[in-house]
Amino acid sequence: MNQPEIVCHDVLQSRHFSDSQNKAFAIRSPFEWFCLATKDLQDYPLVLAVVAEGVDENIEWVNCIKKHPNWKVECHGWIHRDYRKISLDEGMKELIKAKYKIESTFDQKVTRFFPPKLQINERTLELCRIVSLKQDETSSLSYDWVKDKTIPSFYFHYWAKWDLKKMEEVRQALAERQ
């Protein structure tokens, strides 16, 4: 079986929330949403796109991630911002800082950058080249692989109702394939 890559975005994000995030976090904390979204993916080789500024503010969340040897952490920025619109110097400093923070916290090598909201251009590509990260261009929350089994990866948001509903379908499809 070709196992799809599942990427969870906005992990450990602690500020610069969207309206839909604020609405969701009025009901549950980000960490509670994350636990709910990943409850059936405990042993899955899940990829977590981490917003590094939230690492020091979410000790419980960090410790939870560390208890999952199959989960891989990667970089989703220092803060959740549009890295296309940042100076090369500032962007470089933020990504280097983020990479170091995530690597030293989780004792894992960070090799990929998942740009917030998939906002990519020449600038983000240049930034990735300078800081030696591979830019990820996973384009959407795609479930086509459930049907045709050819799409190997997609991403989701742990706090989004629609994504969680879709994750249920993904889990079912994975279970049926085993």
- If the CB atoms of residues 9 and 112 are measured against Zn ion, the closer one turns out to be 9
- Asked if 116 touches Zn ion (CB under 5 A), the answer is yes
- Asked if 115 touches Zn ion (CB under 5 A), the answer is no
Q: Bridge-partner residues for 74, per DSSP?
A: 49
Alpha helices in 107-142 (DSSP H): 122-131
Whole-angstrom distance, CA of residue 99 vs CA of residue 171: 31
Q: Please work out, in degrees rounded to the nearest 5, the angle formed at the alpha carbon of residue 23 by the alpha carbons of 20 and 24.
A: 90
- If the CB atoms of residues 70 and 119 are measured against Zn ion, the closer one turns out to be 119
Alpha helices in the chain (DSSP H): 19-25, 30-38, 59-66, 88-106, 122-131, 144-148, 161-177
Residue 137's nearest CA partner among 121, 123, 149 is 121
Whole-angstrom distance, CA of residue 17 vs CA of residue 25: 10
Candidate residues 4, 6, 7, 9; the one interacting with Zn ion per rule CB under 5 A: 9
- Asked if 53 touches Zn ion (CB under 5 A), the answer is no
- Of the ranges 55-63, 98-106, 109-117, 141-149, which one interacts with Zn ion (CB under 5 A)? 109-117
Site track 59-98 with Zn ion (rule: CB under 5 A), x = hit:
----------------------------------------
- Of the ranges 27-35, 100-108, 115-123, 131-139, which one interacts with Zn ion (CB under 5 A)? 115-123
Q: Please work out, in degrees rounded to the nearest 5, the angle formed at the alpha carbon of residue 70 by the alpha carbons of 142 and 160.
A: 40
Q: Smallest distance from the beta carbon of 10 to Zn ion, in angstroms?
A: 4
Candidate residues 6, 7, 8, 10; the one interacting with Zn ion per rule CB under 5 A: 10
Binding site residues, Zn ion, CB under 5 A: 9-10, 116
